[in-house]
Amino acid sequence: EVQVVESGGGLVQPGGSLRLSCAASGFTFSSYAMTWVRQAPGKGLEWVSTIGGSGSSAYYADSVKGRFTVSRDNSKNTLYLQMNSLRAEDTAVYYCAKEAKLYSSGWIWGFDPWGQGTLVTVSS
């Protein structure tokens, strides 16, 4: 079964740091890009970051650029999100997702599956 499971969330003070992890199983981890998406309480989905399968390319939302770093350890089938200089507006459930390659009149990328999410609360 293809599965991703996040961990590492919690309560952190403004300006603090936290590292999220996402353990993957059931697929060849190094062959797929992986993505972090967050959802603030009662709000919609916000793409945060994507990293390529080899880890050599990474992309960030403007809202987290320079503060968050995405990485991966393909030997451990694990994705990470290092979050520094956290702000109250970073409070959200953070999901990791595999960027699946699907065929529909050509190759399409979609997020599937998603993990259950891990809650990050930034508050003093």
Partner 1 sequence: DIQMTQSPSSLSASVGDRVTITCRASQSISNYLNWYQQKPGKAPELLIYGASSLQSGVPSRFSGSGSGTDFTLTISSLQPEDFVTYYCQQSYSTPRTFGQGTKVEIK
Question: Does the protein bind partner 1 through residue 94 (CB under 8 A)?
Answer: no
Candidate residues 44, 56, 75, 124; the one interacting with partner 1 per rule CB under 8 A: 44
Q: Locate tokens 């797929």: which residue?
A: 32
Nearest to 38 by CA among 121, 99, 95: 95
Query: Is 94 within 8 Å of 38 (Cβ atoms)?
Result: yes
Least separation in angstroms between CB 59 and partner 1: 5
Q: Does 119 help bind partner 1 (rule: CB under 8 A)? A: no
Contact status: 112 vs partner 1 (CB under 8 A): yes
Residue that has been written with the tokens 């956290």 in this structure: 86
**Binding track, positions 24-43, relative to partner 1; x by CB under 8 A:** -----------x-x------
Q: Confirm or reject binding of residue 76 to partner 1 (CB under 8 A).
A: no
Residue 89 interacts with partner 1 (CB under 8 A): yes or no: no
Taking the C-alpha atoms of residue 21 and residue 7, their distance in angstroms, rounded to an integer, is 5
Told to check if 50 binds partner 1 by CB under 8 A, we report: yes
Nearest Cα to Cα of residue 15 among 59, 67, 63, 56: 67
What tokens does 33 get?
A: 């890009």
Q: Does 100 bind partner 1 (CB under 8 A)?
A: yes
> Using CB under 8 A as the criterion, which residues of the chain lie in contact with partner 1 when the complex forms?
35, 37, 44-47, 50, 59, 61, 95, 100, 102-106, 108-117
